[in-house]
Amino acid sequence: MTENLEAAVVRKVVWRFIPLLMAGEIVLKIDLNNISIGALTMNADLGLSAATYGLAAGIYFWAYCLLELPSNLILTKVGSRVWISRIMLLWGLITIASAFLIHSGTSLIVMRVVLGAAEAGYSPAAIYFISRWFPKAIRARMYGMFVASLAVSALFSPAMGYILKMDGVAGLAGWRWLFILTGIPAVVVSIACAVWLRNGPHQVKWLSPAERGWLQDTLDQERRQQDAVKKHSIGTALRDPRLLALCAVYFLIAFSYNGYSLWLPQVLHSLGLGNTAVGWFAALPALLAIGPLLWWLRHSDRSRERVVHFVIPALIAAAGLTVAGLSLAVPVLAIAGFCVSLFGILASLSVFWSLPTAYLTGGAAAAGIGLIHTVANSSGYFGPQLIGVIKSATGSFAGGVLVLGVASLIAAALVFVLGRHSALRDSLALEREHHATRTDAVPGRMPGGSPEHRKSELGGR
């Protein structure tokens, strides 16, 4: 009976919230990266150099970073429903307005700053929301589905390529239509969030009293167990060396992702592809990554292991980017390298969130997640900007792509070392032990299906 209750609750919560959160993240990434497709014609219209485009693409992250931590702290006061809806509505309206207000490199930079300020806080707010609704046993998969939105958003690249062909419709350039048509979905999803999101199990009627009780009790018990290892206030969390190390890790892997996503269309264009072909080939790595990504995250949840499940894909990302950077003269090899690297980047990004949420709770979790995003997203400036500078100086994208690979390699090394830290290791071991104990309470149910597998899990690392 307990097993059936658990499965029913999880199924209901997943279908109520995860598609909506994914839709929000998909639209966010489309509105963040629409500039990368628009640049194929916008740069010429506005007379932008590679360095100026890199500055405009990256400066968004400074406003985003400055406001992200305050945004997540406000979230804990006003609740996820109001705050997430507010964020989405504002950035949608600003994206639409950008179509009419951008007329030079300077105005482009200004609108990117304003957009960054508007979008600040959505992703960490969604991560925090997941941590408040989903037990740890399935949380990595939920984070993974959320991060898989990054791959899904890339699948819209072909559509954005076709929007560029709307040049002259109603007297507007195609890249201006791109801002309008990618901003509208954010407004629509913001309304859906206001209607559907709730701050906790106690606020919903679509769960029965028994289902609400089981879910709330499970979440409360997990938080008490985390507090028993070490209770974090917001202040102590922000001074925790582990958290600062995790900030560095996420900075590096986000550095790779942001540099990749904001420059890939122009890198592909440099290989001789036309605007429409660029849209299709920009979507190819994401299309190939989704299946392996979801399998990898399910494997992480089943094995209750996080460190190795981060390190391996980060190394794969480093290898793929290295191959791509060294093979730009051979387009087939370069595209293959980009395909491999995106799986590695997305898988490591997904598994990453199981590390800080393994030991942070309550307001400390919101503050910690916000700080990680704040520090990490500053990489969104450095990644695009550095590639632009290298491209302007050398005339090639090769050096910039190789730098992205080095960042992923360093991230893998840091997590490997961090995973050996006793306090974080104990928090992750407690998660595995709690899962084993809880599943043992259900007759006939064992982690992985065998006593030997359970013995291996509880042995930990």
Per-residue pLDDT tens over the stretch 417-453: 887 765 555 555 545 555 554 444 433 333 333 333 3
Q: Which two tokens stand for residue 92?
A: 């949608």
**Angle, CA of 307, 146 and 415, to the nearest 5°:** 20
Give domain status of residue 120, yes or no: yes
Taking 70 as the pLDDT cut, the residues of the chain under it are: 1-3, 140, 225-240, 357-367, 369-370, 380, 421-461
**According to the model, what pLDDT value does residue 337 have?**
94
Give domain status of residue 78, yes or no: yes
Q: What 3-state class would DSSP assign to 121?
A: coil
**According to the model, what pLDDT value does residue 49 have?**
86
Give domain status of residue 439, yes or no: no
Give domain status of residue 455, yes or no: no
> Other C-beta atoms within 10 Å of 264: how many?
25
Give domain status of residue 226, yes or no: no
Alpha carbon 335 to its chain's center: 22
Give domain status of residue 220, yes or no: no
Q: What 3-state class would DSSP assign to 228?
A: helix
Q: How many domains does the chain have?
A: 1
Give domain status of residue 82, yes or no: yes
Q: What burial class does residue 415 get, using C-beta atoms within 10 Å of its C-beta: 0-12 exposed, 13-18 middle, 19+ buried? A: buried
Q: Which domain holds residue 107?
A: 9-199+233-420
Give domain status of residue 324, yes or no: yes
Amino acid making up residue 7: A
**According to the model, what pLDDT value does residue 122 have?**
87
Residues 6+ apart with CB under 8 A from 229: 359, 423, 426, 427, 430
**Angle, CA of 157, 104 and 34, to the nearest 5°:** 15
**Domain holding 304: CATH number?**
1.20.1250.20
CA–CA dist 93, 99 (Å, integer):
11
**According to the model, what pLDDT value does residue 276 have?**
77
pLDDT tens column, 273-282: 877 788 888 8
